[in-house]
Structure 1
């Protein structure tokens, strides 16, 4: 018996992988014993992860020791989440921490719906400044097509001359060679809405020469959703670019449950014939945008200054109210109508002490309190808040349509929110929408835990491996040897988005460790001060 026990002990010593306590560390970090989700949609495996020089160097049983040892027993370990529709291009210059993003598990953001905060010629310097100041998340961006338009021909309506269009193409070319991922449009907002399909095809062709994207906030996300999708697909086909549809939604109360299946069918049909089109979305029933969208597009046709003057004119307002009551019209997406009326539109931020007491209230109630037509109340608040952009929440989305979109294998997740200058405050857009603090935890908490719409593996894939593949980030989005060490450790039982319409800046729970390029950036739920994020430049072949 004694010989048998000694033999067993010897055998155990031979097969043990535990590092010797006095051995020099072989790795920077070793994460031990977690349930590893690789980001590709595969079932989790229990494994250790070794990180060195910012990269994952081994996944499996790690014998060597790390300078940092992290015990992930009982928790899940996944790639860092990728925000496919971020708005942080400007605020990162002011504060690179992006802590509200990191607290959601986001390690990479793709910005640029509204463009870059600098002209095309300054993008290279802008990227260098971000790098020199330091950022805590990886950052990539698009360049907006309307930026080129405004620089060449101003903010009024009108068709560009051939020379003007050529000059716009030059701006796009400069931006692409600086490293942007493609061009964007935001076609419900003037002056972007003044661009024709042909104009956008001409600009997309330049992005296509660099294997870039045409990413779009479409011309209509409401009654004419399907024609808007078809326009985006047409631009992609004729321009030779990949198409990304921003925040896919069927934002039209009269057609809930009908439009989204039609939209999905249109995208699937395009993919079946070889169009590289996909979409992202946020998991909320309300969108958030400026009050200027409640005015018909003709108000802004001669530029912003004349548009403001029209808003002050009682006679012009009467015409505007008639258009509001008539519903959407060519070139204008009537979000009040899409939401089912002013009773489903809430003031989020009026940027004015005069109207602060009405934040969170619907415009029918605000109008009643002020003894004003709800439209007049909205436009009064818009004017009072200038030069800031007063914003509202438009409850125009149905949960069943969100579920339909989430079920599609080609959808990813984008918050449509910016980083906050200060944690616990509104995002840099000044919009108190829970998506700035809750989007990514909510995908798991709501659609994996509370409602079994997605498997955990597929939810993580939509936020990691798929968007990385989509954007051509071949060394991110997966936990595999050689990949950048962007990693999130979370407790599934405790994971909750917390942020709500009433408390939109509440912090999520269950995510206490976030690693960016091998640097522990969130630890114990707090920012460590690390700024190891990288600027992600799209290659144009030069």
Structure 2
């Protein structure tokens, strides 16, 4: 207890001086002993530390790439930003990025930084390198320089294809040993864990038992099993149950990619039931969570409307069969008669309410590019075609590229329900734009590529509130960082790397739409990546201060490390 009668006059005078100084927020206090200059001071910001706590008024000083001090900061820096009235948070983390190849082509990642994102977590389809070359892949990124931090999963399907090729058959015991060796190699090179995309061939041919055996090879490295589930529609709950089973049996954490209730007849109920199922698993100790994007349509290839058994012999053989008009006619008849077992229930065209709910986005074909932005049903009527026949023709015309569509499977109510789950994080399910200006390529891009993170703040915090601002920031920072083992990211603490996003709550807004997916957002003013000022007043500075972040069996590697890490050799089976 303080005895006020004993407080000295000197103490009172010092206290009065501090109170007087605090009234001049824009004027750094000069002390008798000048502090070490900082590289940057962000002053007067409403600081959200990422933990979910409310904002506090504070300055943040950056020195040598790290947060040197948070609070009332005397002294000056080489560069100062007045963030009065603005919010300052940890850099935002894209928990489901698709930039494994794109980051090689465009390390500047303009569209990601414009959204306030400083860290990408990629790998749904794996890594664009074989297991024994992952170290080289990471080395290339470091040598070229990247503007964002980048981490990635390896794919269980990729490991399988590296050993047995693009086929529907099961691996032999010897081949399984080799597949597991690929996983070990990938984990030691720095993969975060293993992914699956179980609606696409050849992943669709992998059984639960096979996946358990493959994924368990990542368990000693604290790997994560992250999955685009077998069904996100009518059988959503069964898809979640399979993911939980794989995680429990393999002894790893589970991450559900782009959680959605993609089935019109289940709107309003399926997402609530999914939340209860995941909550129940968490209650019994299963470390499971999910990411999501805030849109009512998914975006994927039109080839998902073709039953996967057609691809059992690989894509080349499948497209050869599909070129036969009689084969297509019989196939379409079988689809309409629901003759494809579980796939018939998971058919995303049915989930979208039919071809009226599927929009042609990118035909990759001069024959059909003029129809971008129209539903397949509308285009079919205009051309006098059966919509399924037309969709297959568009797929064939694009091959070997992939014709792309928007599938309006979800409801706004279910998006809002999923956002309220405390264990959901935010992932765009989109990649870096690859042209010289950071713009999306193709006819139409999904608006999530340029709008996801500003949309969370503008739509679901400010305009039509679902989340508090502090909770939205937690979902985009501390929570995904913790889930993926990045304990020095996603939080504002002294001594940690300075990944920082400064934004204006009053003006932040996603501008990308279904008809103009290239429109860039507004309201993100400054972004620092490892202390490097990478977005200044909304404009990319050209800086490449990003790092390769490695998980599993390896540690994070910073930019500028002298020796390029090499992956260990692939394991040999007896």
Normalising by structure 1, report the TM-score.
Answer: 0.95
Worse-superposed segment, 379-388 or 33-42: 379-388
- In the alignment, what sits opposite 1:165? 176
Query: 1:282 aligns to what?
Result: 293
User: What are the Cα deviations for residues 494-515 of structure 1, in whole angstroms up to 9, with x where unaligned?
Assistant: 0111111111111111111111
2:503 equivalent in structure 1: 490
- Is there any run of 5+ residues in structure 1 with no aligned partner, and where? 1-6
Counterparts of 1:187-206 in structure 2, within 5 Å, are 187-206=198-217
- Maintained 8 Å contact 1:283/1:442: yes
Match of 1:16 among 18, 21, 24: 21
SS of corresponding position for 2:527: strand
Matches within 5 A, 1:130-279: 130-279=141-290
Give the aligned partner of residue 447 of structure 1: 460
1:124-523 to 2 correspondence within 5 Å? 124-326=135-337, 329-331=341-343, 333-422=346-435, 427=440, 432-523=445-536
The structural deviation recorded for 1:427 is 3.8
Counterpart CA distance in 2 for 1:340 and 1:37 is 41
Return the alpha-carbon distance in structure 1 between the equivalents of residues 83 and 230 of structure 2. 46
Contact 1:58-1:481 within 8 A present in 2 as well: yes
Deviation per CA, 1:188-218, whole angstroms, max 9, x where unpaired? 0000111110111011111111011000000
In structure 1, C-alpha distance between the alignment counterparts of 2:125 and 2:442, rounded to whole Å: 12
- Judged with a 3 Å threshold, the aligned counterparts in structure 2 of structure 1 residues 255 and 13 are, in CA distance, closer, same or farther, namely closer
Check whether the contact 2:444–2:516 (CA below 8 A) recurs between aligned residues: no
- The secondary structure found in structure 2 opposite 1:262 is helix
CA–CA separation in structure 1 for the residues paired with 2:21 and 2:541: 34
- Measure, in 2, the Cα distance between the counterparts of 1:86 and 1:182: 15
Q: Deviations over 1:361-388 (max 9, x none)?
A: 0011111111110111111111111221
Cross-structure match for 1:4: none
Deviations 1:12-47 (A, max 9, x none): 489637244996861111000010011000000000
Question: How many angstroms apart in 1 are the aligned matches of 2:437 and 2:544?
Answer: 20
Paired residues of 2:455 and 2:510 also in contact (CA < 8 A): yes
C-alpha spacing 1:320/1:376, structure 2 compared with 1 (3 Å): same
Uncovered stretches (5+) of structure 2, i.e. residues with no partner: 1-11, 23-27, 556-574
Aligned position for 1:3 = none
- In structure 2, the residue corresponding to 1:382 is in which secondary structure? helix
Instruction: Measure, in 2, the Cα distance between the counterparts of 1:408 and 1:509.
Output: 27
| CA distance in structure 1 between the aligned counterparts of 2:440 and 2:161, rounded to whole angstroms | 26
1:77 is aligned, of 63, 68, 88, to 88
* CA 464–9 in structure 1, closer or farther in 2 if over 3 Å, else same: closer
The answer to whether the 8 A contact 1:185-1:217 is kept is yes
Q: Tell me if the contact between 2:451 and 2:512 (Cα under 8 Å) persists in the aligned partners.
A: yes
Aligned residue number for residue 563 of structure 2: none
When the two structures are aligned, how many residues end up with a matched partner? Answer: 536
Q: Give, in whole Å, the separation in 2 of the partners of 1:429 and 1:502.
A: 12
Q: Report how far residue 534 of structure 1 moved.
A: 0.3
State the secondary structure of the residue aligned to 1:33.
strand
Match of 1:86, SS?
coil
SS at match of 1:354: coil
Q: Cα gap change, 1:8/1:472 in structure 2, threshold over 3 Å: closer, same or farther?
A: closer
Deviations 1:196-255 (A, max 9, x none): 101110111111110110000000001110001000000000001110000000000111
CA distance in 2, matches of 1:454, 1:11: 40
In 2: Cα distance, 1:10 partner to 1:140 partner: 48
- Post-superposition Cα deviations, 1:418-457, rounded to whole Å, max 9, x if no partner, equal 0011366654788610000000000011111111110011
Who is 2:25 aligned against? none
1:265: how far off?
1.1
Whether contact under 8 Å (2:297, 2:408) holds in the other structure is yes
RMSD: 2.0
CA distance in 1, matches of 2:433, 2:361: 16
CA distance in 2: counterparts of 1:429 and 1:304, whole angstroms? 22
SS of residue paired to 2:289:
strand
Structure 2: distance between partners of 1:489 and 1:285 = 28
| 1:105-139, Cα deviation, whole Å (9 max, x unpaired) | 00000000000001000001110110110000000
